[in-house]
A and B are shown apart, each in its own frame.
Chain A
């Protein structure tokens, strides 16, 4: 059976909640995997070797424990998945700076994908339960076609904030005003004005969802096939 470890770094547990919010599908998933490590759900103290290691949360560069875990998950996981905005691209931890430090010396947070090489990075704050299930199933089935946007995301140097819509879509004369960025935003930071997204920098948490969802940045092959239902 495929072994899976779920590791938490500087995150809020929201991605794990999203994973368990899949109800009956979670049971299907748990039946098809062996969850070998997940501190919130299971009693295992050491991260074992695993086929898939999913990591939630950013890496605190000022915390040697976090740095060691980052190294450890890369060594122990065959497939390393940066799950959720903090781990994939930094997310809300991008805003950590002076005066917001959980300990006097901890102020620098980076995405896991910046610290070690990740195989897949999944944006979203949190990624929806359905998407997490899709990703897990695709990993189990080796469906690289479905996973290719996440593989690419793991290597991307995108800033992954609402500004991406401006620089990569509007400024490139690609925005046709569908509004999917607006409806996908978890903080309602995007308003459609004159058929174009207006992003509030006060509300944007740099979760990467809006630009990931934009079909004018990327249109994965599977999307262009009509479902035979």
Chain B
């Protein structure tokens, strides 16, 4: 489907199936945001020769994410967990090949990062001998992101927690949650975090990473599980193998209000809200991504 216009009432884009799943590896579940799907897929890929390097968002100091080419399961686990701020993963696309010598790369990214990757594959102007080495793209659901200083404001000023003490950040049940290494939990209503969002996110209408091989996120599945869209043959193959070999446990997605219902609602909310913003910017004469 067309990402920014046309049949936008299609909430999820093309996919073959959607399931609820979680990793079986306890090491992953201990560190993962929800079901640990991204980590499990990458570790499975690395251990079974399907991938030889994966671009992930590693944790830097003060909860600042740093893009990293991970080549071992340990590095993948180290980087597990969502970072609610911008991490330019795609900036490592070339290093993964040139410096790390990878030729079967896995890329995880927000919907916009998957779009960038797909554009690089289709129009590889600056990517010599690279695009055939992108073996798998894993997209994560995304409503919007926070610039680092925006996230910092939410965590430090609204929640009153120093970033160096944060072990996990989460969004769920209408709130932004912060967990500290002292075992404390603070939260703030999502509504109060809106002023600190990255405004550039408001021209994006892709909630479920519609161009990825696999897309995943917590919405639509119970706590500790993730919803997973299998979109391409490639994505389907790897997930099926993982299920067969016991790397993932799965269950059918809840098709009711708290399953597919909420997922659909959020996906459509993003599309409607941001299409309005796109129209508004056009009226002002501001540029928006040109889609021909």
Contact = CB atoms under 8 A, between A and B. Distances in A.
Contact of B126 (A129, A149, A168, A210): A210
Interface stretch (B19-27, B113-121, B176-184): B113-121
A223 B115 contact: yes
A225 B121 CA distance: 12
B118 to A, nearest CB: 5
Contacts of A21: 128-129
A107 interface: no
A157 to B, nearest CB: 15
Contact of B89 (A123, A128, A178, A209): A178
B109 interface: yes
B87 interface: yes
Contacts of B198: 176-177, 195
A213 B125 contact: yes
Contacts of A194: 86, 147-149
B3 interface: yes
A224 B129 contact: no
**Range of interface residues on chain B?**
35 or more
Given A124-B126, A129-B129, A194-B149, A177 B4 contact: no
A181 B126 CA distance: 9
B122 A222 contact: yes
A174 interface: yes
Most chain B CB neighbours (cut-off 10 Å) among A172, A184, A221: A184
A226 B125 contact: no
A219 B210 contact: no
A223 B1 CA distance: 10
A93 interface: no
A229 B88 contact: no
Interface residues of A, number: 53
Most chain B beta carbons < 10 A, residue from A122, A123, A124, A173: A173
B232 A226 contact: yes
A182 interface: yes
Given A174-B200, A182-B88, A213-B123, A219 B93 contact: no
Interface string B17-58: 000000000000000000000000000000000000000000
Nearest to A224: B3
Interface in B84-132: 85-95, 109-110, 112-113, 115-120, 122-132
A184 B200 contact: no
Given A134-B123, A216-B200, A220-B291, 20 more contacts: A18-B128, A124-B125, A176-B198, A178-B90, A179-B89, A180-B120, A182-B90, A183-B91, A183-B95, A184-B126, A194-B86, A194-B147, A212-B126, A213-B125, A220-B123, A221-B2, A223-B119, A223-B123, A224-B1, A228-B233
